[in-house]
Amino acid sequence: MTVLIDADTRVVVQGITGHQGTVHTRQMKLFGSKVVAGVTPGKAGTVVEDTPVYDSVQEAVDRTRANSSCIFVPAPFAKDALIEAVDAGIRLIVIVTEHIPFHDMLVMYHYARARGARIIGPNCPGIAAPGVPSKVGIIPNVVFRPGRIGVISRSGTLTYEIVNGIREIGLGQSTCIGLGGDPVIGTSFVDGLELFEKDPDTDLVVLVGEIGGTAEEDAAEYIRHHFTKPVVAYIAGRAAPPGKRMGHAGAIISRGRGTAQSKQAALEAAGVRVGHFPYEMPHLVADLLKEKGRR
Amino acid sequence: MVKLAEWRGKEIFRKYGIALPPGHVARSADEAASLVSQGTVPLPCVIKAQVLAGGRGKGGAVRFASTIDEVRAGVNAILGLDFKGEKVKEILLEGKVAIDRELYVSVTLDRTLRLPVLLTSARGGVEIESVPDEAILRQPIHPFAGLAQYEKRRAIASLGLSGGPAKSLGPLLDSVWATFNGEDAELVEINPLAVVGDRVIALDAKVIIEDDATFRHPEYSEVRDDRTPLEEIAREKEIAFVQLDGNIGVIANGAGLTMATLDALMQFGGRPGVFLDLGGTDDPAKVAEAFLLMAKAKPTAVFLNIFGGVTRCDTVAKGLVSAMEQIPAEDRFPLVARIRGNNEAEGTAILRAAGIISIPDLKSSAEAAVRAAAARAISPGGPAA
């Protein structure tokens, strides 16, 4: 079993005729994902990477039984693309697009939620389950190996770094979820932990956080009361000064809140092992698995 | 994050029907004096420096005046001040009002709830961080429902208002909510909101516009944030660039990886001086721009740390090699490179051909970068890549 995606995941790529849409359709297919359709209004009838393109998501769903979407359309049109996907009955939507105004995302999140759809992202690398194999998003194929470690991360490339490190010491991943670094995200650490708690094929969860906001503190609170599996965490940004936005809209220490230190303290109080540097993570994972007799 | 000066925030408030004292922005003592003599601003008045940092009252950036001569003297005393690193170029001149009470009102985003929240407190006029949680009423507002009547009644009751001020608070809250949504704001804050006779008046205005929404608000494109000149150039080129106080330049891709790179440098005693996040790009020219920008920041050494996804290693290598040819000799810096991920073999080969070795391990490469910076700090003008 995996989290959120499996062998029945059939992907429609919204914005497939754009450069990134095309490149990542190819990469998803190489990974083993069933990318069954693309959507770009006005481009129906064309074929991209052996994938039929339709004018609307509804048409793609009707013709190909697509049940998941990967959105690459530019930020000003992302809200519309999301609503279209939800209305067509898609229930898992990965939004790769960056720079979506959070005011739009507030509407998108609550609209999807009211209709029973889940958003991952925006501004995220997506989700991958190497054992299936299936991937919805843009995480490089080469970092994965099938295994029993769940990964939840607010970051993009830092996720690749840490997932790759886990692979390099001979371990593998059940599912990896890249949540995205924006102020309003569809799936949070707590949401991801709930999913992994129920997954019998995940033994341990790696949580990759960063400074800013209180998502890691919320995760710590959830772990303390509801999560039974071992957790290892890294918080990027110990060296970041207060008041400077470090790339991600969410990554800013303001008014003394959201520091790496406060997040680490909260997680450690909940029994989580916290690494100070990304290269410590694979070893922390291996040691903890050994202690728990799982390796 | 576009932080607006008070006077700009108040121009927006006026548009949304929020009551303000009579006032106007000015950029010289002459301009201020004529605003008073023409009756645009009544006497006595308050003169406030238009800076983004807080604590203006205590910091001598607010003055009072009862005559035109005092206005001139006050404006001259404030203009040109260096206030917490910001030079005062504008002042806001406003008629003084007789304050009965000072309240606090704001709307901002609660990321955990994924909802906007309305915050109200009877303890206005002080920094909201110093007000205990139990003295602040927090009401999440659903974006589909908007601000409900009962929520306004709760706010009024918690502020202990009655009569005229209570009557004027409901429309005020509607206006604050409309400003938050209509202007794509991250924060709309009025502190203090003054009770003056039978109504409420916004004495201050703090409005922060969300960067990502500026495509809907071209009117804010001329507003400069508190960025350094190099940060401003980077912004135009869509490169995340933050100046810190150290000497090692960091070029990485993705916010999380860039921060992790700073963390690694700190482990070996390195002090990051510039944080440059390439983001996702497949254009070698953009990578070259990033290096040229980095050269302008005059780092002691530069650490390039790339994990190739959307940004492929060969793209970065091509951009880097082309930039190194363009950087003038006196601006060159020692470079430590680490490129991993998509097209790693191609990228590494391009770098090797240009005499640059990529160290695949993050820990070793971070350590090498700190050593390179230390070596050059001892012998300035030392090794150049």
pLDDT tens, residue by residue, A231-289 = 999 999 988 877 777 766 666 666 667 899 999 999 999 999 999 999 999 999 999 99
The reply to whether residue A210 touches residue B256, judged by beta carbons under 8 angstroms, is: yes
The answer to whether residue A103 is domain-embedded is: yes
Quote the crossing angle between the two packed helices A75-87 and A57-64, to the nearest 10°. 40
C-alpha B302/C-alpha A78 separation (Å) is 37
CATH code for the structural domain at B229-378:
3.40.50.261
Backbone torsions φ then ψ of B45, nearest 5 degrees: -135, 170
The answer to whether residue A96 is domain-embedded is: yes
pTM of structure: 0.92
| Domain housing A199 | 139-291
The CATH number of residue A158's host domain is 3.40.50.261
The reply to whether residue B264 touches residue A75, judged by beta carbons under 8 angstroms, is: no
Q: Which of A171, A168, A169, A166 is nearest to A153 (CA)?
A: A166
- Distance between B363 CA and the closest CA of chain A, angstroms: 7
Residue intervals in chain B for CATH 3.30.1490.20: 22-95
A140 neighbourhood in chain B, CB within 8 Å: 308-309, 341-342
Q: What's the N-to-C CA distance of chain A in angstroms?
A: 20
pLDDT tens, residue by residue, A12-55 = 999 999 999 999 999 999 999 999 999 999 999 999 999 999 99
Residue B229 pLDDT greater than 80, yes or no: no
B269 neighbourhood in chain A, CB within 8 Å: none
Q: Which of B258, B277, B305, B344 to mutate to test the interface with A (most CBs of A within 10 A)?
A: B258
Domain total in chain A:
2
Q: Which of A78, A84, A133, A126 is nearest to A106 (CA)?
A: A78
Q: What value does the mean pLDDT take over residues B112-134?
A: 93
Contacts of B384 (CB under 8 A, 6+ apart): B329, B332, B333, B334
The answer to whether residue A2 is domain-embedded is: no
- Distance between A118 CA and the closest CA of chain B, angstroms: 14
The CATH number of residue A116's host domain is 3.40.50.720
Residue intervals in chain B for CATH 3.40.50.261: 229-378
pLDDT of B156: 97
Homologous superfamily assigned to B101-220: ATP-grasp fold, B domain (3.30.470.20)
Q: What are the CA-CA distances from residue B203 to residues B7, B186, B195, B314, B353 (Å)?
A: 11, 20, 10, 56, 64
Q: Which of A86, A120, A154 is the last residue of a domain?
A: A120
**Residues of chain B with pLDDT > 70: what percent?**
96
Extract the tokens encoding B309.
Answer: 């996804």
- Domain B22-95 architecture: 2-Layer Sandwich (3.30)
Residue A130 DSSP symbol: T
Q: How many CA atoms lie within 13 A of A234 on its CB side?
A: 31
Q: Which of A74, A215, A92, A109 is nearest to A155 (CA)?
A: A215
**Residues of chain B with pLDDT > 90: what percent?**
72
Extract the tokens encoding A268.
Answer: 């450690």
Residue intervals in chain B for CATH 3.30.470.20: 101-220
Residue B237 pLDDT greater than 50, yes or no: yes
Residue A149 shares a structural domain with residue A271? yes
Residue B385 pLDDT level (bands cut at 50, 70, 90): very low
Residue A116 shares a structural domain with residue A143? no
Residue B381 pLDDT level (bands cut at 50, 70, 90): very low
Say which of A103, A225, A248, A276 is annotated catalytic: A248
Backbone torsions φ then ψ of B288, nearest 5 degrees: -60, -45
Residue A202 shares a structural domain with residue A166? yes
C-alpha B385/C-alpha B356 separation (Å) is 8
Residue A118 pLDDT greater than 60, yes or no: yes
